[in-house]
Amino acid sequence: MSNFLTDWRQRVTHRQVWALAAPMILSNISVPLVSLVDSTVIGHLPHAHQLGAVAVGGTLYSFLAWAMSFLRMGTTGFAAQAAGRNDGAALRQVLLQGLLLAMGFAVLLGLIGLPFQHLALQMMQPSPDLNDLTRDFFHTRLFGLPAALASYALVGWFLGLQNARAPLAILLTTNLVNIALNLWFVIGLEWGVVGSARASVIAEWIGALLGLALTHKGLRDYPGHLAVGLLKRWQSWRPLLAVNRDIFIRSLVLQSVFFLITVQGARLGDATVAANALLLNGLLLTANALDGLAHAVEALCGHAIGARDRDALRRSLNVAGGWSLICSVAFAVLFLFAGHLFVEMQTNIQPVRDIAFVYLPYLAVLPLVAVWSYLLDGLFIGATRAREMRNAMVITALLTAPFAWLASSFGNHGLWVVFLLFMALRAVTLGHIARRLNRTGGWFSQ
């Protein structure tokens, strides 16, 4: 406790944390704003299955895209440590490797996307109207996948350089264009659900192209030359692929949880899956805001580890942790007292509103439970400790599985209780491993 109070008084660390966190919070908040606009625009169309199609189709797309989030996380850790060493050649190598991996995985996911969608919809057993609209939405979204994965790698690389302005520009541009086109395509041109998907695709490509243009300044600040010959050697790919493999497994397990929530919600009816989607938009809003602080932890802790500065590592984690707690309490209060307005803003379909109101208390509790896993994710990503992240996520899923089976007969209440348990266990498992590494000096042993 004394270390925390001492670190909290360090104004320099506060400035460092917020110099990175503030732009990332602003840019990250634009991500759930897109979902909120999607829900609000589609949610004011006449039928619940239209809102449900965006929720289900978006979940299928997110399952594929976010499973590739290792492209951002892995890139951030290696770029931060290379920046800490002032190694311009390594930074160029990490950037190019990240972009090449993004293109390769986009092709692979494009090939498996259609069979995956068919299998997923069979599991959900949706109504015929929901099934048809979901397919149309998902097919269109796949065209934006290469750009989305490239943006992951670019954002991760900029964060590693402690450059939060470039990710801010990429994400804000992508999401503001998405919002504007959504309003135009869905309301102005009356393209409906497919119009929402088309808006997202165009916005993703604009964001990726902007990110590529912004790399010039980052490369100029770290002089060096790309050793093209190293890209032909397996040894130069092995560390990045090993970290990405482990983060992929971790992300796949995490996205499977969100996917199964949608599957179970769809089985409970179109209105239930739509209501759950509106509430999960609240979680998305919280997670993206708190991730701004987690991104600051990634960059600052990765830099401290690269420079082998134990004091800077501790200070960064303590200050970011304190602010994360403050922000999570603010979100909990917001959803507790203004949750009804949050739901009503997104849809005027009364059956969907009524179901969402019942489950609002779960949304109010979520920020207080989930904040710790977000913060610890940032620490492990900055330290490129992907294996430990993978192990913690797998253990969490295994511990949660029996409770999920027992809760399956309790309907949507059981679903939300299990989800809260899952988020709590994420923090417990990561915290246990972090404490062990801290005690043994493992953060600096790689």
pLDDT tens-digit map of 189-225: 878 778 888 888 898 899 999 998 998 877 777 766 6
Lowest mean pLDDT among 17-31, 221-235, 239-253: 221-235
Q: Alpha-carbon distance 432 to 27, whole Å?
A: 31
Q: What are φ and ψ of residue 384, in 5° steps? A: 50, 40
Q: Alpha-carbon distance 163 to 154, whole Å?
A: 11
Is residue 429's pLDDT more than 90?
yes
Q: Alpha-carbon distance 130 to 49, whole Å?
A: 5
pLDDT digits (tens, 9 = 90+) for 35-65: 566 666 766 565 666 666 776 777 777 777 7
Report the SS3 class of residue 68: coil
Is residue 1's pLDDT more than 60?
no
Is residue 29's pLDDT more than 70?
no
DSSP 161-230: TT--HHHHHHHHHHHHHHHHHHIIIIIIS--HHHHHHHHHHHHHHHHHHHHHHHHHHHHHHS-----GGG
pLDDT digits (tens, 9 = 90+) for 95-135: 888 888 888 888 888 888 888 877 777 776 667 777 777 78
Q: Alpha-carbon distance 242 to 294, whole Å?
A: 22
DSSP state of 359: T
In the prediction, which pLDDT does 422 show? 92
Residues shown for the chain: 446
